[in-house]
Amino acid sequence: MERTKPLRDIRSLSIEDLSELTSELGQPAFRAKQLKEWIFEKNVCSFDEMTNLPKAFREQLSERFSFNTPVEIAKQVSKDGSRKYLLQFSDGTSVETVGMPSRNKLAVCISSQAGCSMGCAFCATGLAGLTCSLTAQEMVDQVLHVAHDFGERVTSVVFMGQGEPFMNFDNVVDALRMLNAPGGLEIGARHLTVSTCGIIPGIKRFAELPEQFTLAISLHSAVQSTRNKLMPGVKKYTLPRLHEAIQQYVEKTGRRPTYEYAMIDGVNDNNPEMEALIEFCTGTLCHVNLIQLNDIPDSPLKPSPMEKVETLQRRLTMYGVETTVRHSRGGDIDAACGQLKQRRNSAKKIILPNA
């Protein structure tokens, strides 16, 4: 879907562009350095904040450029400290973002697309389909918004919100590099994680990146028929092909991928499913995150009892598979992807595809 175009975002200009701009507007050369500091180091969101620039110069800038930062149209605060935001960009596109504080750290879960085309049965985001992909700056702006709201430095970011990151690969990589860049947010590469449904071409391209960004794969079942029902958008990327691509990734990078496994009562938590997951993981370099499914209103899919989650953790550990139980944050708010947006747009029922 084509998006309306507001004034050009000044943050899209290079250092050379800023130098040319200041010269064109009759300003001395040092103004370009001041602009760079405000935009890329202090991460301001308006020209009014650039207090050491002449007012007339700021007015000239505002006539030609903008800061297309998102507007917060809804926020929920959990008793565990997590905050869920619904942010709207200047063209009306809205996305969800989550801030999760813990022990002097602040993690942010951001969206790479507005909506999603993958159609996963357990995810509220896919109900309305894909609206559009986000720019790199729009992804970074979600992180900046959370940082400003908490008044803290963000220490890690996961691309695990709305959208499939590898269906927006180039912009996601640009965003990763902006978040990692010296003089900017300077978040370590190993603290920047991209979660994919299992888009094999994207996994192969990701393996070629020189930076040590982290890879997570939404697996959710190691039984092909079950995974096809839960994740129809990646049906063509079969489990044997996915397993091969991940092993190639490990050989190329030496990095440990994470498998996200949301446990769904009566769907992927029975003994055959557990055996298949153990077989998929045993003997490979990986980490398994077991998660109780977020309980989405009106969905027929419900979270597995914690006893089953803990049983699977023990079984995986017994086979030498590094496994943790990830306790969902924001359980008392609409923390799952798409829930807050769906609530505002009046939720529709989620239906598990027929067997």
Query: Which residues are marked as active site?
Result: 96, 337
Query: Is 194:216 a contact under the CB 8 Å cutoff?
Result: yes
Give the residue from 256, 248, 172, 265 showing the smallest Cα distance to 212: 256
Which residues neighbour 155 within 8 Å (Cβ) at sequence distance 6 or greater?
A: 105, 106, 107, 187, 191
CA distance 179 to 276: 37
| Sign of the Cα pseudo-torsion (57, 58, 61, 62, in order) | negative
Give the residue from 329, 262, 343, 340 showing the smallest Cα distance to 108: 329
Q: Which tokens sit at 254?
A: 């030496």
Give the residue from 79, 131, 80, 109 showing the smallest Cα distance to 345: 131
CA distance 284 to 242: 13
Give the DSSP letter string of 306-322: HHHHHHHHHHHHHTT-E
- Residue 139: its H or E element: helix 136-150
CA distance 329 to 100: 7
Residue type at 4 in one-letter notation: T
Half-sphere exposure of 120 (CA within 13 A, CB side): 22
Identify the three-state secondary structure at position 342.
Answer: helix
